[in-house]
Each structure stands twice: as C-alpha cells, then as structure tokens.
Amino acid sequence: MVKIVIENMAQKEVTGKAGSSALRLMHENYIDWMHACGGKGRCTTCKMILISGADALSALTEAESRYRLAGELAHNERLACQAKVLGNCTIRTPEAYKLPHQTYSG
Ligand code: FES
C-alpha cells in the first residue's frame, strides 16, 4: 500500500496499490485531476509538484524526459499519468491546472 498526500487539498490522502500511476490512484480515490490527453503522456496538464518523496516514484518516462528537456517539466515536477507510485510522497496541484469545481486549501 502506498500513499500520496496532496498538500493543497487539505492534506488529502490518496492510497492504493504500489506500481499504479499517480493519476490512477487519484481516480481510484475519487479525486479529480486534470488529464487533457487522457493519460497518454502527450500534454502536461496532469503535472504534479513534488514536495517530498521523489525517490518513491518510478524513473522518468520517455515522455517526461522529452518535456524535461524542452523545459516544460521542472526538476520537482512529474506527470501524474506517467509516474508510478512505489512509496509515499507529498505533492501539490500546480496553480495552472487547478480544476474550477475542486476545492483547494492553498
Ligand atoms: S494526462 Fe496528458 S500527459 Fe498526463
């Protein structure tokens, strides 16, 4: 069992099976998270900001490496549809990708 804490959703805890993508875990926990391309690694709207636990995520995928090289994915950012969660981590929703109907605590 792994856990993602979403800092700016009032420390909401998302739990699930190790090895699932962060996006999948959010959906399994009924959390809405932007994912414009449907989780195919072709946009960056599912971006999450890592606060802690970078080691708890799988290595960058090819898609993420491409965005990183292009300067569209900072060193502390991952794509929720690409990063598999292998341990516990804390993240934030980026300002630009907050959903209008979702409540945020910061
Ligand atoms: S949903 Fe488009 S890259 Fe993740």
**pLDDT single digits (tens) 27-72:** 999 999 999 999 999 999 999 999 999 999 999 999 999 999 999 9
Q: What's the gap in Å between 81 CA and the centre of ligand 1? A: 6
Q: What's the gap in Å between 23 CA and the centre of ligand 1? A: 9
Q: What is the spatial distance between Cα 83 and Cα 14, in angstroms, rounded to a whole number?
A: 15
Lowest average pLDDT, out of 5-9, 22-26, 57-61, 100-104, goes to 100-104
Is the CB of 29 within 6 Å of ligand 1?
no
22, 78 Cβ separation under 8 angstroms = yes
CA 90 to chain centre: 10
Can you list the domains of the chain with their CATH numbers? 2-97 (3.10.20.30)
Is the CB of 26 within 6 Å of ligand 1?
no
Report field, pTM of the whole predicted structure over 0.95: yes
From 40, 91, 93, the mutation candidate for ligand 1 (largest count of ligand atoms within 8 A of CB) is: 40
Q: Coil, strand, or helix at residue 36?
A: coil
Closest C-alpha among 49, 29, 44 to residue 81: 44
Q: What is the spatial distance between Cα 37 and Cα 75, in angstroms, rounded to a whole number?
A: 22
